[in-house]
Amino acid sequence: MLIKARILEHYNNYSFKIPLSGGEKLYVKNQQKINLKDPLFSKSENRIMDSYFLVDELGCKTSDCFKYITCIDGSYVDEGEIIAQKTSSNGLTIKQIKVKESGIVDLARINKGLVDILAEEETVTVESNFSGIVNDVLPGSYISINSPASALDLSTSTLFEEKLFGSLIFLNKENEVIHKLPDIALKEKIVWAGAYLSLDLAMKIFKKGAKAILTYSMEYDDFKGLGLPIGVIEGFGKIYCDQKLLTEFYKLDNNFAVLDGEEKQLFILESKQAGTTEKNFFVEGLLGSYVISRHSAHYGCIGQIIQINDLNYVTIDFGVNGKSVVDLGSLDFISM
């Protein structure tokens, strides 16, 4: 009998670090217990008013973007002022980027090909929406915390060893593809873009300051060509995404999360333990379990085991998609 991994695994004691840039006012200390809505720290930050992706607008490589900057980091620019320009190889044409709104130039993301125009500074207090214990506090560097968490496996990611921390925010709570970006703040967020991520939508999300994007599926060429932090849950192309999975996933909206490129997992911090990593996997205990099918006949559909046929086959009720006898080896179990 072959039992595959569940989609969401739960952990009592996940260790992670909240990065600090310096200048934050800290409200926590070593060995402190953290509860919901406890203030962690406050900091000054600037809202992104507009953003320009030089790779797309100037037609250059990400590694060469800094060569075409005509402004100084932190300087104030007026509407219509040129912030970047590139002369063609024959010298006959010049591509220019002019700011649409007056603001402060931020080149913190120039290594990703982005130039941001910021609004005036404001103070933001970061509160916990999880429980845990503070392990260590190093001002200007990080806050180390242990907390219950759920882990979601990713099929692939453009991250490798990097870990990104941020609040998880959902743009869409249905499995339809979205095209228009909602008018919400995305700076420093890990953004769920929906069941399918188009290149145009990815560009809009990163321009609003998102740290990373999560999606169920997208085109391979877009994934490789964009060169920005993206985590794909299922795979490439437009892959069917069952609404039952999305309904469970959306319960994690606004939770803090850690995107781990090395482990290819998304860790979502929680206020209490939602499940256990230890389960009785005897066949008799599988009745009622929720699964996602990897069989070509009903790939991506979620259903419930309603009958055990033998050591290797079970009958699944896929709801509107009907019932089917399925090999256990073609199922992923979901902790719901």
Same domain, 248 and 195: yes
In-domain check, residue 180: yes
Q: Around 284, how many Cα atoms within 13 Å sit in the side-chain half-sphere?
A: 0
In-domain check, residue 184: yes
CA nearest to 166, candidates 205, 217, 126: 126
What's the confidence (pLDDT) of residue 184? Answer: 84
What pLDDT, in 10s, does the model give residues 191-218? 999 889 999 899 889 988 899 999 989 9
Same domain, 263 and 155: yes
Q: What's the structural domain count of the chain?
A: 3
Token representation of residue 193: 């873009």
By CB atoms closer than 10 A (0-12, 13-18, 19+), residue 43 is: middle
In-domain check, residue 83: yes
pTM of the prediction?
0.71
What's the confidence (pLDDT) of residue 277? Answer: 36
By CB atoms closer than 10 A (0-12, 13-18, 19+), residue 215 is: buried
In-domain check, residue 204: yes
Q: Tokens 């006898």 sit at which residue? A: 325
In-domain check, residue 52: yes
Low-confidence ranges of the chain (pLDDT < 50): 1-5, 274-284
What's the confidence (pLDDT) of residue 275? Answer: 44
Would you say how long the chain is, in residues? 336
Q: Could you say which DSSP state residue 63 is in? A: G
Contact 159, 138 (CB under 8 A): no
Structural domain harbouring 114: 46-122
What's the confidence (pLDDT) of residue 295? Answer: 83
Q: Tokens 């085991």 sit at which residue? A: 305
Token representation of residue 125: 């207090």
CA quadruple 113, 117, 121, 126: dihedral positive or negative?
negative
Contact 42, 127 (CB under 8 A): no
Reduce the DSSP state of residue 119 to 3 states and report it. Answer: strand
In-domain check, residue 127: no
Tell me the one-letter amino acid at 251.
Answer: K
- CATH number at 250 reads 3.50.30.10
d(CA 267, CA 320): 32
